Amino acid sequence: MKGKSKVKLFFSTLFLNLCITYANAQQQVDFDREVDRIESLIQQGAFEEANSVLIDLQLSLENTSLIAQDTVRLYFSSKFAFIANQLGDCENTISKSKEDLNLRTEIYGAADPLTLSSSRNLGIYYLNCDSAEMAKQQLQITVDIHRDSIGQPDELYARSLDDLAYVRGKLGDIDGAIKNYNELLGLLGDSKSSFYLHVAENYSALLMSSERYEEAAAFYEDLKGYMTPKSEYPFFLKDFYNVFVHQKNYVKALETATELLTWCDSNKSACSETGFDLKEFVLNSARLSVLLFRYEDASKYYTRAEDLYSDSPKYISVLLEQSDLYNATGEKYKQLNTLSKSLITHRSRSMTDSASYTKTVLELGKIHTEMGRFERADEVFSEYIDDLEANPGTNAEKLAVAYQSLGNQRYLLQNFKDADKYLSKAQNILVKEGLTSSSEYASVLNSLGALYEALANYRKAEKNYRKALHISYEEESGLRVALATNLANILTRTQPKNDSILVLLNQAINWQETSSGKDHPGYANLLSNRAVYYQKNESYKLALADFEQAIKIFKYTVPEDHPQYLSAMSSIGLLYNLMDRMDEALESMLIAKSLYLKYYSEAHPGYIRTVNNLANLYTKTEQYDLAEPLLLSLAQSQVKEINESFTYLSESEKKTFVEEKQKLLNNFKGYVVARSTIEEGSIKPNVIEDWYNLELSTKGMLLNSTKKVREQIFNSGDKELIDLFSEWTVARKQIADLQSLKSDLKQKSKTRLDSLLQKTNDLEKELSRRSAEFDGSFGDKSPTYDQITAKLKSGEATVEIIRTEINEEGIYTALIGTANQSHPKLIVLGKGKDFESNGFTVYKNAIKFKVDDPKSFDLYWRDIHEYLLGNGITKIFYAPDGIYHKISLNTLYDPASKNYLIDELEVFQLSSTKDFLNLNVGGEQFEGVDKALLVGRPSYKLAGNDVASIGTTRSFAMLSDVSDLPGTEEEIKEIQSLIDKSDVECQVLLKDDAKESVVKSQLNRGLVHIATHGFFMEDDAGAGSDPMLSSGLLLAGVSDFNENESGEDGILTAYEIMNLGLNDLQMVVLSACETGLGEISSGEGIYGLQRAFFVGGAQSVVMSLWKVDDEATKDLMTIFYKDYLKNGNKREAFLNAQKKIKKKYKNPIYWGAFVMLGG
């Protein structure tokens, strides 16, 4: 029984176990089936149903052993958390995820990868449930445990670190996020895996949001291919477009914008779903194309934008930008058409008060001008400005901008006269309205600075640029970049060693980089400017680096006709020349020259500069046949430019302008001198004739211009114009009075003086404009060598002395013309330092100390004399220059012949040999003279005061002790007795009558003779900077003028004389000491009494070059007038008088001081 029972029990137990095993196996099968079902539902996104099935499955396993298995427990905890997260059930998501993390920690431990994965999931769930701070803490725990326990980074660590970086970025912990991303990228290396690209996408997005655009941009190329197939691709392009715009990388910005437009064109439906404003990208692509000088692309984009914006308020803006593009590309008809659309649109939309309407109108006027439609241009400008002027409510800034735009347009057309007029008008409007701190005022000052720079008035240009830069310094605008650059350029010209130049250039470069980035032509242009500075300071390596970088940028950002690119090519050619890299220099210069000619004209300043550099290069490499025509054409172009600009400049501006333009003329002269010195006969005769013709055009042109202005004024019969001249005369008188004050009083009056100087400058400009001094044909009226020689008789010659600055050294030459020579003779005389220093000291001391002078003839005249005698010349018409103005030719003693020059040649002295054409060599007695004025022996101390001491020479040392000149009274009375025999009315002013006020009121007579003390004070501190205040004549009351009530000081200065109207004055005889002295200006003569009388209107002047003896002078003048009145030839009478006095007084100090100048 027992055995059977045991067997039965065994089989029962076995059966039971088999049943249990079967049941468990069936439960596992049922579980696995339900798990598959749940996963399928999840894949289908049926999370609600999946959650229900999962709950039912869990309930079905409650009383089974399966529910106690770790894997089953973990499945339920992780899956419930996942589904709850998908359903947005944050409470269950977090609780189930925590449950899952706790189970895994209990089963596997905290450092197990499965536990760490659950920990990471909990962090992600926190983030999804908007608990970013809890997410950060949980993910940090995950990363820390992994780092501390596992050590070796793996994918789980990398992804956890990625999640942590993302959460930190979301919380604004940018530095922490960047630290995590950088660690992560270091782990991933250069793999370019999908995970790497995912990290790069997130990291670049973080960098963009934190405005770290430079770092974000580094991921663009890696991400582009990765993002292309994704739906996020257009957003990726948009984001990186903004990155590149902020980075000022306009090349890449345009690339991304173009790619986005291409994508949108191919995916129209998807593009519309993005919500992008497509037309903005079209317009921005057009703008970027313009910035990069890709004009063809810009034109396509603007055409498309015009259609897209046709009904938009931005339509006008698009049209005006399109107009600017056509202006840049030179497509005038397209620009005209676009501006016409803008004009019509403004009027149809009633927008004629807008700033865009102002621009439209002014640009229309400009384009009409450039197309040669001058009448239409004038109509446009006049109508618009008249409308503004007529409207009492017109905004002052708008009116000023209108005038400034008009002035800028005239400046671009090199019509500097009108440019000055309109820019000054704009400035005056803003000053009147108190807007001198506005950006508009700074802009006008910049335009005026550019105008003055073009006119070579660098002092005024600098002043305007400085003031404008001070106004606009804090404004982030292109104007301050331009101003800093312009000011640096001016200082480079005038003060090349000034340390502030480099500071300004670097500042401009930094501003430009901030504004546009480095890949921009504006940045390249600034590099070129700095390179020029380095070049002038002989830092050639630094200059070359800047030029090369600039040209590299230009080549891919601008077309070949861009002026800044051409300027850089020309300048680097000059630099190569200086570095003796001749082949590279020649190549660069020839490229620049050909492109300037292709796109511009020979009058373009860049072309002129390039050709000048090229000519110097040819000279340096001894390619003279190539250099010669270039230098001549440049010189002729400068004369033409002077002629075109003279009609509206003030006196000081003319002087500055001519001095600047003379530099290129001097290059030509220097070439001729150098070649002639190296190899006699190497210069073709016609080239020397060209030089002579240039001298006829330019020598004394300032003097001639000034005289002609006055002639035009007084001959015009225009009362308003004459009144304007009178106003100018009064202002000049006030300036003379202020500048003659003692230094302390003068300083107190500085503001008043500055105001008067500005007033006279403006009046002079207006007088020049109104008098139309050259009538547009000054250059055509210049005589030629052939005309000069055609008038010469046998035995006559013209001698033109020329002082030229060549390589910063004065060189004297003579050009001689004779009747029988088809071309002038060039004689190179020598260096200025030999003539002006020791040589002149010898001459001056020989005269002063009455000793023989065997050297001066050889130095100053021997070479000329031998040529003249060799050609049978006995009479010369001679025009001095430089130090020759201080030498009386007749007094030069030839040790070979033992004769003075007066015994061998008849010398007629002129300002320029062109005056020979108008010279009346014979002349009737007192031709055209009906009144004479004789002034002598002024009472230097007026009646009632002490009598002055007696002097023997007509000079003085101190105003308080001016010696009396009784011989001058005898001289005047003798001359009076001679004139009284004619029909000429003669007024005599002697002693107390010879007051300054009386003399000035009577000076405009046919003949004036003044016998008194004369003076010229070199470097006179009290006279200020004007040499015309340093020379003059002393009249009655000069020694005690403080005790007089007349208001005149008894000193008649050259400054005062030149402001008088002396159009009736045929001849003035200055029978006083040193009346021919003054400040020498090469090509212009002496700034002193002689110039003053010529400017005032005198036809001829007799003057002295040194202190003269009273008795000898009296005798000389008496003999001169006797002969003149008898024979009617003043020059012959003057020469005869000198020869007669020479017989009585052998030494030239007595007979040679006086010279006659003029016709």
994-1005 pLDDT, tens digit each: 999 999 999 999
Q: How far apart are CA 89 and CA 51, in angstroms?
A: 12
Joined together, the tokens standing for residue 1042 give 């403080």
| Beta bridge partner(s), residue 818 | 797
Tokens 């020469």: give the residue: 1135
Q: Residue 142 pLDDT more than 80?
A: yes
Mean predicted confidence (pLDDT) in 684-706: 84
| Residue 871 exposed, middle or buried by CB count within 10 Å (0-12, 13-18, 19+) | middle
Q: How far apart are CA 1157 and CA 1100, in angstroms?
A: 6
User: SS3 breakdown of the chain: % helix, strand, coil, rounded to 5?
Assistant: 70, 10, 25
H or E, element range at 968: helix 966-979
Mean predicted confidence (pLDDT) in 164-181: 87
Q: How confident is the model at residue 500 (pLDDT cuts 50, 70, 90)?
A: very high
Report whether 1141 contacts 1074 (CB < 8 A): no
Encode pLDDT of 10-25 as tens digits.
445 544 455 545 455 6
Encode pLDDT of 1003-1041 as tens digits.
999 999 999 988 887 754 444 457 788 888 999 988 776
Percent of the chain at pLDDT exceeding 90: 38
Tokens 């006659």: give the residue: 1156
H or E, element range at 342: helix 332-348
Q: What is the pTM of this model?
A: 0.63
Q: How far apart are CA 469 and CA 481, in angstroms?
A: 9
Give the pLDDT confidence score for residue 775 in this predicted structure.
Answer: 42
Mean predicted confidence (pLDDT) in 377-393: 83
Give the pLDDT confidence score for residue 773 in this predicted structure.
Answer: 44
Joined together, the tokens standing for residue 372 give 């040669």
| 3-class secondary structure, 946 | coil
Q: How far apart are CA 526 and CA 524, in angstroms?
A: 5
Mean predicted confidence (pLDDT) in 682-696: 89
In order, the DSSP letters of 658-690 are HHHHHHHHHHHHHHHHHHHHHSTT-S-HHHHHH
Joined together, the tokens standing for residue 201 give 């996408």
Distances (CA, A) of 996 to 140, 709, 735, 770, 1056: 101, 26, 17, 32, 11
Which one-letter amino acid corresponds to residue 641? E
| 3-class secondary structure, 949 | coil
Domain 931-1158 has CATH 3.40.50.1460: yes
CB under 8 Å to 1111, separation ≥6 — which residues?
952, 967
Q: How confident is the model at residue 6 (pLDDT cuts 50, 70, 90)?
A: low
Higher local confidence (pLDDT), 654 or 840:
840
Distances (CA, A) of 61 to 23, 65, 75, 81: 12, 8, 13, 19
Residue 650 phi/psi, 5-degree rounding, is -80, 175
Residue 46 phi/psi, 5-degree rounding, is -90, 70
3-state SS string for 476-529: CCHHHHHHHHHHHHHHHHHCCCCCHHHHHHHHHHHHHHHHHCCCCHHHHHHHHH
Higher local confidence (pLDDT), 551 or 1015:
551
Least confident of 595-609, 642-656, 681-695, 870-884: 642-656
Q: How far apart are CA 686 and CA 669, in angstroms?
A: 14
β strands within 1012-1142, DSSP E: 1014-1016, 1031-1034, 1051-1053, 1067-1071, 1078-1081, 1085-1088, 1100-1104
Q: How confident is the model at residue 66 (pLDDT cuts 50, 70, 90)?
A: confident
Q: How far apart are CA 702 and CA 651, in angstroms?
A: 8
Give the pLDDT confidence score for residue 942 in this predicted structure.
Answer: 80
Mean predicted confidence (pLDDT) in 758-786: 65
Give the pLDDT confidence score for residue 1036 in this predicted structure.
Answer: 92
Mean predicted confidence (pLDDT) in 812-825: 94
Joined together, the tokens standing for residue 363 give 């640009």
Least confident of 83-97, 505-519, 644-658, 1081-1095: 644-658
Which one-letter amino acid corresponds to residue 239? D
Report whether 1123 contacts 1140 (CB < 8 A): no
Q: DSSP character for 146?
A: I
Q: Residue 781 pLDDT more than 70?
A: no
Joined together, the tokens standing for residue 747 give 């300083």
Can you state the angle between helices 233-246 and 250-266, rounded to 10 degrees? 160
Report whether 937 contacts 990 (CB < 8 A): yes
**Which of these, 737, 720, 808, 638, lies nearest to 1053 by C-alpha position?**
737
Where along the chain do its domains lie?
783-918, 931-1158
Give the pLDDT confidence score for residue 780 in this predicted structure.
Answer: 45
CB under 8 Å to 926, separation ≥6 — which residues?
982, 984, 1006, 1007, 1066, 1125, 1128
Least confident of 379-383, 802-806, 1111-1115: 379-383
Report whether 150 contacts 128 (CB < 8 A): no
H or E, element range at 831: strand 825-831
Encode pLDDT of 766-775 as tens digits.
776 666 543 4
Residue 648 phi/psi, 5-degree rounding, is -135, 10
Q: Residue 5 pLDDT more than 90?
A: no
Question: Left if phi > 0, otherwise alpha if psi is -120 to 50, otherwise beta: which for 69?
Answer: beta
